[in-house]
Structure 1
Amino acid sequence: MDTRRLTQYVICVCVILTTVTLAQGQIKRCFACRSRGALGDCKDPFRFNSTHLVPGVKDEPCASGWCSKRIEGKKDGKDHDLAIERQCLQRSPPDDKERCSEALVGHRKIFICFCYGDLCNSASGIKPSFLLLFIPLAFQMLSSRF
């Protein structure tokens, strides 16, 4: 394969990967589940991803793109009182800022986190897409040929 054809191939692959990555970024999803106590699937550590789910845990489309994780109860050894819920928010927080904080809902104190992004309400941090890591490598390969 000559250099010109290889260059065209690499550019075509980069364009396709970029298009797929951007299209996937348009549709935001949130984990949706609720569990109470030590046996629930929604609790931390949260071991699920979009390809590995159980019946009580879903990855649902979220129009706002904002997800939440809500913790009610105390982690003081009485794990049966602890409830965790992950869900889509109908609208963004008023200041459009991702954060975690304590809040008062009714007369109960809860801990809640807001995040923006696809499946961001898992317990792990946001990981860059493998496809996005490939693009700079492809351009480096391309530029080294000239």
Structure 2
Amino acid sequence: MKTRLTVYSVRLIKRCVSCRSRGELGSCKDPFTMNSTQIEEDKAVEAVPCASGWCVKIIESQNLNNEYGLATERSCLQRGPDDNEERCAYTKWNYKNVYMCFCNGDLCNTATKVSLSPVLYSISLLSFLLTLWL
């Protein structure tokens, strides 16, 4: 019984990829090509439990228009955004210009970009059009 409860509770906790790479070196760069089995085998990449369920990917560069000094970091956010919306944007973080994406889901920060599912996009568009029409 204890084993079943432990396995069940572990599955309820979302995980985030935790790693950092610079340039073309390392396993953390974009595009991120590892699956969950490969993450377990790589010493530089971890799948860490994340209480908030919100993961982050941060791309920093001395000049966001080129690849020089590019670094990619993936980790867990202590708390998600106030509006609970997944998104990517250019922002300042630790006094640096970065491109930051945050998402909610198990190992969601492995994605190259955050995207809406076609069904969710269609529902959102339909709701918007209905509010305009009514």
Does the TM-score normalized on the shorter chain lie above 0.5?
A: yes
Q: Which amino acid counterpart does residue 107 of structure 2 have in structure 1?
A: L
Shift of 1:60: 0.6
Aligned equivalents of 1:51, 1:99: Cα separation in 2 = 27
| Partner in structure 2 of residue 15 of structure 1 | none
CA distance in 1, matches of 2:13, 2:50: 8
Secondary structure of 1:31's aligned partner:
strand
TM-score by length of 2: 0.69
> How does the TM-score come out when normalised to structure 1?
0.63
1:89 paired to 2:102: no
Matches within 5 A, 1:2-13: none
> Structure 1 unaligned runs (5+)?
1-21, 127-146
Tell me the equivalent position of 1:40.
26
Contact 1:25/1:118 (<8 A) preserved: no
Counterpart of 2:66 (choices 40, 58, 76) is 76
- Deviation at 1:108? 2.1
Distance across 1 between alignment mates of 2:14 and 2:110 = 14
**Distance across 2 between alignment mates of 1:49 and 1:85:** 17
Q: How many residues align?
A: 103
- Runs of 4+ aligned residues of structure 1 deviating over 4 Å after TM superposition are 22-25
Query: % of aligned pairs identical?
Result: 50
Tell me if 1:112 matches 2:96. Answer: no
- CA RMSD of superposed structures (Å): 2.2
Distance 1:100 1:51, change over 3 A: same
